[in-house]
Amino acid sequence: MVSVVFVRASEFSLIEAYFAHGAAERADVTLPIGDDAAAVCVPAGHELLVSVDTLVSGVHFPEFTAAYDIAYKALAVNLSDMAAMGAEPAWMTLAITMPNSEAAWLAEFSRGLFDLAQAHGVALIGGDTTQGPLTISIQIMGFAPTGQCLKRGGAQVGDLVYVSGQIGDAGLGLALVQARAVPSFCSSNQSYFIQRLNRPTPRIGLGLALRSLATAAIDVSDGLAADLGHILERSGVGACLNISALPIAKACHDDAIAWQSALIAGDDYELCFTVPPQQTQMIEALALSLNCPLTCIGEIEFEQGLRMRSADSQVFPMKKNKGYQHFD
């Protein structure tokens, strides 16, 4: 018989036990957890970048997801926003609503959170705990040299479109978790695809390096087609992608489900970015130095909208995809 221990403690005791220690310590935090607000110092010549994401049980992750993975992903998706902006992450706040205070769950949650926070030098400087349906909100703060952060609205006609890593993996992982149809290769490699769903890799180093190379950038959270569409709209341009160039799992290349996952499914948290063609050699060198595949998948064009080029060079318009929508 498995026993579950619930922590009967005040909010402040929970914070002290599970969240007051473990994240990175930073000299630029002048007033840490313990007051009504924290105080931090932004380096001279830099601007503050702030982002927040909320993950809700049953919406952003299945209810049976491990506590470690929930925390890891909650921070990873915020780190990915920093990467897409070319920002160095520094501080975070955590607001967690949970139905109860189970000791083992809290211990694993804080371990997942702090493992990733330590890896990227992020300090936890405040937050809130409340009782209710499981919901995690993380606000992340970072900085970049003034005027040098990456944006969505700078793509130019003739720029090349790149994407990092491998796309579509998280969508296939979600399909496995939900027992939907997947290519046979995925069924024999379930742990890989589910890990890609639960523990995405924030491309912080890539984002920092792209500040001097990319004209526009975004992270692939709602699907490649939808997220690239945001760059196109903000930049007032269009693009044509080469279907055969999309970096998907090699064993899935002949499977329609895998191609659809690469274009439409979200949760990959890779970076999609545009660069002038003369930067090709720099991008190739960057891929080697970071040990991160960077694949050219298309080109920015004057005609607005997103188009796809098939392997036999036929071009067809991509139906506009808004990506995941909470209120549709």
pLDDT > 70: percent of the chain: 92
How large is the average pLDDT for residues 22-49? 90
Both structure tokens of 98: 């949970």
Stated pTM of the model: 0.91
Q: What's the pLDDT band for 135 if we cut at 50, 70, 90? A: very high
Helix 190-198 to helix 169-177 angle, to the nearest 10 degrees? 110
Can you tell me the mean pLDDT for 200-220?
Answer: 97
CA–CA separation, 300 vs 159, rounded Å?
5
User: Does position 11 have pLDDT exceeding 80, yes or no?
Assistant: no
* 174-206 residue pLDDT tens: 999 988 888 888 888 899 999 999 999 999 999
**pLDDT, position 3:** 47
pLDDT of residue 151: 97
Fold topology of 160-317: Phosphoribosyl-aminoimidazole Synthetase; Chain A, domain 2 (3.90.650)
> How high is the pLDDT of residue 12?
66
Encoded amino acid at 151, one letter: K
Question: At the topology level of CATH, where does 11-145 sit?
Answer: 60s Ribosomal Protein L30; Chain: A; (3.30.1330)
Instruction: Compute the CA torsion angle 55, 106, 82, 237 (nearest 10 deg).
Output: -20
Place of tokens 């992020």: 122
User: 82-86, 164-168, 320-324: lowest mean pLDDT where?
Assistant: 320-324
Residue spans per domain, the chain:
11-145, 160-317
